[in-house]
Amino acid sequence: MSAPIIALIGNPNAGKSSLFNQLTGLRQKTGNFPGVTVDKKSGTWPLDAQTSATVVDLPGVYSIYPKSLDEQVVTDILANPAHPDYPNVAIVVVDASNLHRNLLLFTQVADLGVPAVLALNMLDVAQKQGKDVNAVRLAMRLGIPIVRINARTGEGLDKLKQAVQGQMKEPVLPPSLFFDPADGAAELIAETRKDYTLNSNYLALQYLIQHDGFSFLNQSQRVGLDTLIDRYGFSEQTFQADETITRYKRIAPIVSEAVTEQNAADTPTWSQQLDRFLLHPVWGYTIFAFVLLLIFQAIFAWAQPFMDGIDTGVAWLNGQLKTNLPAGPLTDLLTDGVMAGIGGVLVFVPQIAFLFLLIALLEESGYMARVMVIMDRIMRKFGLNGRSVVPLISGVACAVPAIMATRSIGTRRDRLITILVTPLMSCAARLPIYTILIALVVPDRRILGLFNLQGLALMSLYLLGLVSAIASAAILKLFLRTKETSFFIMELPTFKLPRWNHVALTVWESVRSFVWEAGRVILAISIVLWVLASYGPGNSMEQAETRAREQSATLTGDALQNRIASERLEASYAGQFGHFIEPAIRPLGYDWKIGIALLSSFAAREVFVGTMSTIYSIGGGDGEDDGGITIRERLRQERNPATGGPMYTPALAWSLLVFYVFAMMCMSTLAATQRETKSWKWPAVQLGYMMALAYLAAFATYQLMK
């Protein structure tokens, strides 16, 4: 017997996701809803000793009439009992401080015939507004179980579990529909129910209004519904408008009877007082810039001790493996290939963790919503909808889910432009590249005794990505024209103290996903690179070693081994391929070794650091003392064969940094773009313009600074 399905449904910011985390804890997984690419969060909720339910967190919606791709998922599930995620019980989470609006969605769910439990959340907010909600009276009027909860603290979850179990055993539905479409189109509704074997008048109405959007209907069924609509002269827009007005009229007396409003003070709440500054046309941007500055300062300052520890530990372990394992190809593969590649990325986990931590704190507190509002003023000047801010900010973590987040954007043009420019936002995969190159050429010095120069350099790269994304959007707007009008409506949540268990869960899931996804790619590429860098065509490797010995007759020990390793690497398959592309990248200041890393990082940007670690491990000698040298030291010690000076000069480092700000070096992002646009045309456009921009910007940077 399969596990029962419990669906969480609610308006945005009603506390649905918080309740999901409380119910499922670490028993969560992510995937896609069947047939679509919309993210699906599900988890296990133990109901008793024998039974565990699967909790599905549906996208937040204000009604079952979808305005975007992610909202369509909710209607597709609730209107199709054959859907694999159709719930045995729906938990409708409502904001008690705004019952009148939240109950609209509940009445629609109830009229579809889905057994429901109403979870009355944010009662503390309602009390601060002078509202007292009588849950018993509300339950009597609605005719279904109602539970008072606090999704932030977990209060009331035991009673919620009891109510859900009761609805599973003996479902209780409201005694009558809140809105009966048969009152205005009885014959049409009756015929629709008969033709499509439906058990609800309201479900029949949804078939008539939304049949073009339902994914589970075939073409003949859609044609049949069109025929019914034409025969009866049915107007979807008129009927939907009448429905909304009627529902609010019937909700109003229910709310009036269940909610007692005290004489609240006229003085603004502390959230409203803060918003005067955070949403101010001048101070709002100033505060946001200061918050960004603190974030990038913290990423360097807090993460450095952990990074040093991991860096030293990986280098020590590599040295021990080289010392204690028998010499041979397998040991070289393990130390110079696998350990060098993965270790080159693990060292940056602390910085990535702190980045996700600080972003989670901004989201949990409610400040991120204010950022979206003030940035909307800028977005509109460049032809974007304010909802574009959500994917752009999400792009700081990863471009793939950020591109998926564009489904909430209503107009096709705004959505397409947002998809095309989102990868310009510097994601977490770029962070290892940024930090290691900044550490090489930017001094660890404080300005005004407060701001770290390296933190300022990191912030400048993120701002460069943001400015370039907005500028690119303005240019794309000139080529992608539309007559559609876009709107940005967002409800500002009240400020709250972060829930540390939810913050920790978010950080853990994000870092685990990053390390797992990156680790698999890096492991595969590290092995391939080691093979390509350790072997060459014919007897080229032996000839390279002989040549190195003849030209280095005065060298002994580690110095000789380093020279031999460098010559062998240059003669390998990887070295020859690097030399093949070197003329194209030489104007940027790059040599053939960097060329190998650039090509390998097309799989994922973070592979660049692992590749450089593998390349320099193989090319840096295999003496015993060499095992303790970290990737940072390898880059710092690398010499330019033409000048004899350091290879990684400020000109080269900044050229690479600028290149990776703009470069589309992520196959997963291109795949996500293809999935969302359903065409290979737009990934090709995205790849073309971003790579051209990266090359030109890196060329200009190097030529100006060298």
pLDDT at 572: 83
Interval 360-375 mean pLDDT: 78
Judged by DSSP in three states, 88 sits in: coil
Structure tokens at 261: 């409003």
Residue that wins the pLDDT comparison between 482 and 696: 696
Whether the predicted pLDDT of 264 surpasses 70? no
Interval 394-417 mean pLDDT: 74
Please tell me the distance from the alpha carbon of residue 183 to that of residue 526, in angstroms, as a whole number: 68
Interval 90-99 mean pLDDT: 91
Give the number of other CB atoms < 10 A from CB of residue 132: 13
Per-residue pLDDT reduced to its tens digit, 541-596: 888 778 877 777 676 666 677 677 777 777 888 788 888 888 999 999 898 888 88
Residue 408 banded pLDDT, cuts 50, 70, 90? low
Whether the predicted pLDDT of 37 surpasses 60? no
pLDDT at 624: 37
Residue 623 banded pLDDT, cuts 50, 70, 90? very low
Whether the predicted pLDDT of 263 surpasses 50? yes
The alpha-helical segments, DSSP class H, found in 145-282 are: 157-169, 182-196, 201-210, 219-232, 236-258, 270-278
Please tell me the distance from the alpha carbon of residue 277 to that of residue 279, in angstroms, as a whole number: 6
**Using the 8-state DSSP alphabet, how is residue 64 labeled?**
S
**Using the 8-state DSSP alphabet, how is residue 175 labeled?**
S
Structure tokens at 232: 């009866």
**Using the 8-state DSSP alphabet, how is residue 706 labeled?**
-
| Contact indicator for 68, 408 with CB cutoff of 8 Å | yes
Give the number of other CB atoms < 10 A from CB of residue 700: 13
Structure tokens at 317: 């372990």
| Contact indicator for 526, 340 with CB cutoff of 8 Å | yes
Whether the predicted pLDDT of 484 surpasses 60? no
**Residue 268 class from Cβ within 10 Å (0-12 exposed, 13-18 middle, 19+ buried)?**
exposed
Please tell me the distance from the alpha carbon of residue 578 to that of residue 325, in angstroms, as a whole number: 31
**Edge-to-edge strand list for the sheet holding 5-10:** 28-32, 39-46, 52-57, 5-10, 89-95, 116-121, 146-148
First-to-final CA distance of the chain: 69
Please tell me the distance from the alpha carbon of residue 545 to that of residue 565, in angstroms, as a whole number: 8
What percent of the chain is modeled with pLDDT above 90?
18
| Contact indicator for 94, 14 with CB cutoff of 8 Å | yes
Please tell me the distance from the alpha carbon of residue 100 to that of residue 251, in angstroms, as a whole number: 7
Per-residue pLDDT reduced to its tens digit, 644-678: 788 888 999 999 999 999 998 777 778 778 877 87
Tokens 């072997």 belong to residue: 535
Per-residue pLDDT reduced to its tens digit, 521-531: 666 766 777 78
- Amino acid present at 434: Y
Please tell me the distance from the alpha carbon of residue 111 to that of residue 93, in angstroms, as a whole number: 17
Mean pLDDT of the chain: 81
Interval 348-357 mean pLDDT: 75
Please tell me the distance from the alpha carbon of residue 467 to that of residue 23, in angstroms, as a whole number: 40
Judged by DSSP in three states, 308 sits in: helix
Residue that wins the pLDDT comparison between 338 and 114: 114
* Element spanning 121, H or E: strand 116-121
pLDDT at 121: 92
Whether the predicted pLDDT of 119 surpasses 70? yes
Q: What angle do CA 613, 619, 625 make, to 5 degrees?
A: 80
The number of helix segments (H) and strand segments (E) in the chain equals 31, 11
Largest distance between two CA atoms of the chain: 101
Judged by DSSP in three states, 323 sits in: helix
Residue that wins the pLDDT comparison between 484 and 395: 395
Whether the predicted pLDDT of 325 surpasses 80? yes
Interval 274-299 mean pLDDT: 80
**Size (the chain), residues:** 706
Whether the predicted pLDDT of 610 surpasses 80? no
Residue that wins the pLDDT comparison between 387 and 214: 214
| Contact indicator for 145, 160 with CB cutoff of 8 Å | no
| Contact indicator for 531, 341 with CB cutoff of 8 Å | no
Using the Cα atoms of residue 149, residue 153, residue 158 and residue 164 in order, give the sign of their dihedral. Answer: positive
Per-residue pLDDT reduced to its tens digit, 673-690: 887 787 889 989 999 999
Whether the predicted pLDDT of 51 surpasses 70? yes
Please tell me the distance from the alpha carbon of residue 132 to that of residue 261, in angstroms, as a whole number: 6
Region of poorest pLDDT, from 221-225, 283-287, 553-557, 594-598: 553-557
Please tell me the distance from the alpha carbon of residue 548 to that of residue 545, in angstroms, as a whole number: 5
Region of poorest pLDDT, from 236-240, 491-495, 685-689: 491-495
Structure tokens at 556: 């002994």
Interval 597-617 mean pLDDT: 71
> In the chain, what are the domains?
5-169 (3.40.50.300), 182-261 (no CATH), 500-705 (no CATH)
pLDDT at 692: 94
